[in-house]
Amino acid sequence: MSSMLSAPGAANAWLRDHYSADVSVVIVNYNARAMLERTLATLYAARSCSSLETIVVDNGSADGSQAMLHARFPQVQLIANSDNRGLTRANNQGMMAAQGRYLFLLNNDTILREQTVDALVRYLDAHPEVGAVGGKVLNLDGSIQGAAKALPTPAAACFGRHSPFTKLWPNNPFSRRYLVDLHRDFAAPFVVGSMSSCALLVRREAIARAGLIDERYFVYWSDVDWCRAIWATDFAVHCTPDSVIIHDEHKGGTRADKQRSRAAIIDFHRGAYLYFRKWHVRRAWQPMHGVAIVGLTLRAALVLGAEQLRWRLRERKGAA
């Protein structure tokens, strides 16, 4: 998909001469009607001063999501897919249909606060060197989620948000270096390697240079890859604490049941392989290629085992 922006004249067409809104909000949904309804309600209740165009790309939901949109949010532009095309392809669909000056990727399991969108718009308006900006992302309990990261190295596989090393030793220097927002006071904006696409405002010029999101990713690692591609075009990626959003992580569908939870774990490790092969190990004969395959396979097996145990314990608790 990104190659279409490198064709002659495509970048100019992408930048447009006229915009119908300040921001095009792109939300992807798959069988998460209640979460989507909450996200849209908070988006419109946030009383944004910026003009908004909202596009929902629905990946063949069978839970009444589309009917809810027609009934409650007729102002939303709906793109209805017949099947689940994944987060990445659907985000690209929404962005290609967007008419706004900036593009705002928003997860369907988020809760927006007042000024969430406006603060991001003000930041990009004031910082032309920044291609993408995210805000302060919180868990439901108000704690920092860890959405802002340095660009990952192979060592990041051991020091992510959910790794045992980080949970048992949260102040270790490797996790602190990678998870750049977990130990900040958020007194001022700061530079990041990547921001989660759960709430990411992107400049059209950055997309014209970097291309759309790499569609080899289904869900996971697509935002990290895209932010790295934006950095490669000499645009920066920042985080500003003036914008605050709550991300009810995994409630939008990726861990809704045992089957989808298993698929999400596999997709996460597949995405990690794609990322490290693309940016770190570009030749199959390099020794690190084999190390990456073995390491990620072992890690995936351990996480799948732990997830299976978690579901069994939940089922036993429910049966008691």
Which CATH number do you get for residue 204?
Answer: 3.90.550.10
Same-domain check for residues 98 and 213: yes
Query: Tokens 């340095």 identify what position?
Result: 150
Same-domain check for residues 192 and 282: no
Structural domain includes residue 80: yes
Structural domain includes residue 104: yes
Structural domain includes residue 253: no
Same-domain check for residues 194 and 277: no
Same-domain check for residues 204 and 283: no
Structural domain includes residue 320: no
Which of 64-78, 180-194, 242-256 holds the top average pLDDT? 64-78
Whole-number mean pLDDT of the chain?
Answer: 86
Number of domains in the chain: 2
Which pLDDT value is given to residue 122?
96
Same-domain check for residues 216 and 307: no
Which pLDDT value is given to residue 312?
74
Domain boundary among 222, 247, 272: 247
Which pLDDT value is given to residue 276?
87
Query: Which band of pLDDT confidence, cut at 50, 70 and 90, is reported for residue 12?
Result: low
Minimum mean pLDDT range among 58-67, 145-154, 188-197, 205-214: 145-154
Same-domain check for residues 233 and 265: no
More confident residue, 133 or 275: 133
Distance CA 216, CA 142 (A): 34
Same-domain check for residues 228 and 142: yes
Give 262-266 contacts, CB < 8 A, sequence gap 24+: 262/304, 262/307, 264/219, 264/220, 265/300, 265/303, 265/304, 265/307, 266/300, 266/304
Distance CA 250, CA 179 (A): 19
Same-domain check for residues 235 and 270: no
Same-domain check for residues 161 and 287: no
Structural domain includes residue 98: yes
Tell me what percent of the residues of the chain surpass a pLDDT of 70.
Answer: 84
Domain boundary among 247, 266, 290: 247
Same-domain check for residues 187 and 278: no
Same-domain check for residues 221 and 295: no
Query: Which band of pLDDT confidence, cut at 50, 70 and 90, is reported for residue 75?
Result: very high
Distance CA 34, CA 27 (A): 14
Residue pLDDT, tens place only, 261-319: 888 888 887 888 888 888 877 766 666 666 666 666 777 677 767 777 776 777 777 76
Does residue 252 surpass a pLDDT of 90?
no
Query: Residue 302 is part of which domain span?
Result: 258-311
Sign for the pseudo-dihedral over CA of 19, 25, 28, 29: negative
Structural domain includes residue 84: yes
Structural domain includes residue 14: yes
Domain boundary among 223, 247, 271: 247
Distance CA 68, CA 66 (A): 5
Q: pTM for the full model?
A: 0.86
Same-domain check for residues 39 and 144: yes
Structural domain includes residue 317: no
Does residue 234 surpass a pLDDT of 80?
yes
Minimum mean pLDDT range among 26-30, 111-115, 231-235, 273-277: 273-277
